[in-house]
Amino acid sequence: MDTACVDTARVDVVRAAGPRVLGLVLAGGKGTRLAPLTDDRAKPAVPFAGLYRLIDFALSNLVNAGYLRIAVLTQYKSHSLDRHITTTWRMSTLLGNYITPVPAQQRLGPQWFAGSADAIHQSLNLIYDDAPDIVVVFGADHVYRMDPRQMVEQHIETGAGVTVAALRVPRSEAVGLGVIRPARDGRTIDEFLEKPADPPGLPDSPDETLASMGNYVFSTKVLVDALHADAADPDSVHDMGASIVPMLVAQGAAGVYDFTENEVPGAKERDRGYWRDVGTIDAYYDAHMDLCTLDPVFNLYNPHWPILTSVPSLPPAKFVRDLPGRTGMAVDSIVSNGVIVSGGSLRRSVLSPGVRVNSWAQVENSVVMNNALIGRRSVVRDAILDKNVIVPPGAEVGVDKEHDRARGYTVSPDGITVVGKGITIE
């Protein structure tokens, strides 16, 4: 039988059940504000919440919604990200499903991606090959749960060319985001402002503004036409938020989707509208501390909309020794498999697999990544330790911020000390 006939038949069967959707995940950013965590890896590959990578949240939302054909567009320091995707996110090829990393291929000439819009423009072969009705474009480095099917349904219902997911944020927090001025109908975008110095307030809440989440739903032809027009504009910065969306707003073809209306199976009212842009050290740290509370705003333990990842084959976490002042214990903390807490104490901290905390050591208000070693009588406080960091017996990190800076460690504006991968604390 002719192969083209088989492919066409498969497409028709899928379309009979609903629109054919292709997912594109933008994972090519440098993530410089997360340094030193991004010194040796792409931002979407940064570990989060012990077991996960940041990209697992976007991919989980798409897969849980049944969108199983996804291309992840990568560029900078992408090896660990590519490896994570290819070893973790494997789909059944029997039904034509796939999640694949797509590096910058220079298909249109000897240049790398000039922006997020250019990344898709240089990868238009993915859209041509898949022939989708709808293209869902998500960022790769935010922490949230979302059912994108509801956004796609609104997009089709309203007939928009592009629909932008948005949520209300304080005006003071919106200067680094794309900001939306909605029309009176609440569904059409009147104006889109990329990182405005003075974000406009909302009519019913002057101290809040409507910010883009960096998630878009496009009708395929609208997206392709806009990308071609943008590529031909020598003055464009070739960015989805700064170039493509304003172009479609000017054409009256842009709609907005209120993220707070999204109903995620298994979620509680407390979860509604939780979204964190973890693009800075302090935002990344705060998102971890959100997880350590008794009743966290973002609940990892929702079996109806799981955050999926590959869990390493390590034994369960172990807490040993119970002597005065030398008790292996953890309070308000997340402890991954393979961790051994031997006579040390954890408070309000997140530990990734394979971490070892030895006797009399104290780890407080900290994020400790894979295979770090915390020596006897050492103190880790208000800190982020990357993979394979060694804290020798009696050493301190995060306690004296000036001393941390003098040793060459990064200290964030909010006073969080960050130690890069593989460093031994002096």
- 402 pLDDT higher than 90: yes
The tens digit of pLDDT for each residue in 133-152 reads: 999 999 998 999 999 999 99
pLDDT of residue 60: 98
Residue 6 binned pLDDT confidence (cut-offs 50, 70, 90): very low
Q: Is 194 annotated as a binding residue?
A: yes
Among 31-40, 264-273, 368-377, the range with the most confident prediction by mean pLDDT is 368-377
Dihedral of CA atoms 335, 339, 344, 349 in degrees, nearest 10, equals: -30
Residue 77 annotated as part of some ligand binding site: no
Q: Does the pLDDT of residue 11 top 70, yes or no?
A: no
Q: How many degrees, rounded to 5, is the angle at CA 54 between CA 51 and CA 60? A: 85
Question: Looking at the structure, do residues 226 and 330 belong to the same domain, yes or no?
Answer: no
**pLDDT surpassing 70 at residue 4:** no
What does the CA dihedral 307, 308, 313, 315 come to, rounded to 10 degrees? 20
Q: Which of 67-71, 233-237, 285-289, 394-398 has the lowest mean pLDDT?
A: 233-237
State the pairing for strand pair 383-385/390-391.
Answer: unpaired
Residue 51's pLDDT is 96
Q: Are both 13 and 113 inside the same structural domain?
A: yes
- Residue 207: phi, psi to the nearest 5? -90, 0
Decide which of 291, 307, 336 is a domain's last residue: 291
For 87-127, how does the pLDDT look when each residue is reduced to its tens digit (9 = 90+)?
999 888 888 899 999 987 766 656 767 688 999 999 999 99
Please give the pLDDT value at position 175: 84
pLDDT of 172 reads 87
Whichever domain contains 53, its CATH number is 3.90.550.10
Q: What is the pLDDT of residues 167-205, one digit of tens each?
A: 999 998 888 888 999 998 889 999 999 888 889 888 888
Which domain CATH number covers 403? 2.160.10.10
| Same domain, yes or no: 162 and 26 | yes
- Evaluate whether residue 410 is within a structural domain: yes
Nearest to 363 by CA among 387, 376, 346, 378: 346
Percent of the chain with pLDDT over 70: 94
pLDDT at residue 1 tops 90:
no
In this prediction the pTM is 0.92
Place 8 in a pLDDT band, splitting at 50, 70 and 90. Answer: very low
Shared-domain flag, residues 150 and 281: yes
Q: Are 253 and 386 in a shared domain?
A: no
How much is the pLDDT for 110?
63
Q: What is the pLDDT of residues 211-262, one digit of tens each?
A: 999 999 999 999 999 999 999 999 998 999 889 999 999 999 999 999 999 9
Nearest to 283 by CA among 371, 414, 147: 414
Look at strands 254-258 and 208-219 and give their pairing. unpaired
Q: What is the pLDDT of residue 322?
A: 94
Q: Report the number of distinct structural domains present in the chain.
A: 2
Task: Name the pairing type of β-strands 379-381 and 396-397.
Answer: parallel
Structural domain span for residue 38: 3-291
**Pair 287, 322 in one domain:** no
Please, what is the average pLDDT of the chain?
91
Q: What is the pLDDT of residue 3?
A: 35
